[in-house]
Structure 1
Amino acid sequence: MNVKMTPRINIAIDGPAGAGKSTVARLAAKALHYIYVDTGAMYRAVTLKALEAGIASDDEVDVGLLAKKLDIELLPGEDGQRVRVNGEDVTSRLRSLEINRNVSYVARSEGVRSRMAELQRLMAQDKGVVMDGRDIGTHVLPGAELKVFLTASPRERAQRRFLELDPASGISLDQLEREIEERDRLDREREIAPLVQAADAILLDSTGLSIEQVAEEIVRWAGAAASTISAEEK
């Protein structure tokens, strides 16, 4: 799967935790020769620094003030995208259970979301970006030429996250499924940029599908969107 498109477009992939957004977005970006922007990693980086600073994850004011002081960089690496905060590589520390349990609270801060959206829009201003998150198509890039809402059953999403965890964590699959369902609730009910499918987004349920199948479908839709724009410009 290797495609070059003209004109270049922006692709927004939204959906709940564990739907496979990051992996799918990374594969689609590679196939299209686009830039991949992992917005979830940015919120996880803020969460990490808040926990290290002793700031409660639900302290929206202080977490927001902290976010303004953080220089977050997303950089290509041999084994995937690297995340640096104020010059420090924190990539390997962003998938812990503690981060999983606190990131939704941090993401509810208006100050945090405002700062992250500002950075994300700058990354996408020249087009040719695949960006995944929970409010990309509705809030960050409402003008994206292709919007996809990617989901899967809570059980399947829990199984995917379960495989990422250290076996020594002691968490069960059932517990992880309950935590994912709670995170879904928090994301849907937050006042600032809640998790919701954009009216013009394509719904894609990845339950039972491979990551490669999902990425190929998105690349196909991207080609169709680019062709439509090209035809309209003639």
Structure 2
Amino acid sequence: MKEHIQIAIDGPASAGKSTVAKLVAKKLNYVYCDTGAMYRAITFEAMAKNISLDDDNELVNLLKKTTISFKPAVPEQLVFINDQDITQAIRQPEVTNNVSTVAAQEGVRQELVKRQQEIADAGSIVMDGRDIGTTVLPNAEIKIFLVASVKERALRRFKENQIKGIDTALDILELEIAERDRKDSTREISPLVQAKDAILVDTTSMNIEGVVQKIMEIINK
């Protein structure tokens, strides 16, 4: 396999992108970049500083003063804003339910896409998000588009929340995920769409190991 290969994994919320991307990166000894965490990070910071989540100029100014970084750890990669560990904070419902608004801002996306491309330029990478194959890494050698039913994705999020001590009813999660799908798919800037050369993988009836195996088969082929 040639050096500096790029693997883009896109899909809607709770389709399993991050979990699968981490495992694939580990198997290949590649760098993993969680782009969704970057949008969550700036959403968290904006909320903490009482900045309007649809004020693109203020959000970009905030980003310019903000360093978002990742550090390897067990059981999960840590996310930092400057020197603050926000790994758990950015997964709370108030961030989850507002990140789509921030991600729809043109200036925010331009700045974060630039940072993501700089990370990818450093070497072989597995990157997941919603516009990786279409906007961030349009020339990626491997493009995967993960999907799953809203009901299945809500159930996955519900189980994750229980482990983290977050109490949100399953029916509420279904509504929130459906709404997030709508926002992500209809925004003007880099909407969630499957790249023309991406391979669709429906994970509804698959476990994590099965999805990873399927993606590894695609990569090896």
Q: What TM-score, normalized by structure 2, do the two folds share?
A: 0.95
Partner of 1:41 in structure 2? 37
Which stretches in structure 1 are left out of the alignment for 5+ residues? 225-234
CA distance in 1 between counterparts of 2:151 and 2:195 reads: 24
Q: What are the within-5 Å matches in structure 2 for residues 164-183 of structure 1?
A: 164-166=160-162, 169-183=166-180
| CA-to-aligned-CA distance 1:43-99 (integer Å, 9 cap, x gap) | 110010000000122223322221222111112112221111112111121110001
Task: Identify the range of structure 1 (77-86 vs 42-51) with the bigger mean alpha-carbon deviation.
Answer: 77-86
Range with greater deviation from structure 2 (30-39 or 57-66):
57-66
Residue of structure 2 in register with 1:194 after alignment: 191
- Among all aligned residue pairs of Structure 1 and Structure 2, give the percentage whose two residues are the same amino acid: 51
Name the larger-Rg structure: 1
Asked if structure 2 preserves the Cα contact closer than 8 Å seen for 1:32 and 1:219, the reply is no
Q: Which runs of 5+ in 2 are unaligned?
A: none
60-69 or 181-190, which moves further after superposition? 60-69
TM-score by structure 1 length? Answer: 0.90
* Partner residue of 2:93 out of 90, 94, 97: 97
8 Å CA contact 1:29, 1:129 repeated in 2: yes
| RMSD, matched Cα | 1.4
AA in 1 matched with 2:214: E
Contact 2:69 2:79 in 1 (8 A): yes
How is 1:12-31 mapped onto 2 (pairs within 5 angstroms)?
12-31=8-27
Query: 1:228 is matched with which residue?
Result: none
- Cα deviations across residues 105-150 of structure 1 (Å, max 9, x unaligned)? 0101111111111111011113310000000000000000000000
Matches within 5 A, 1:60-139: 60-139=56-135
User: For 1:164 and 1:216, how far apart are their aligned partners in 2?
Assistant: 22
Q: Residues 207-218 of structure 1 correspond to what in structure 2 (within 5 A)? A: 207-218=204-215
Q: Aligned residue pairs: how many?
A: 220
- Between the aligned partners of 2:64 and 2:4, the Cα distance in structure 1 is 31
Amino acid at match of 1:24: V
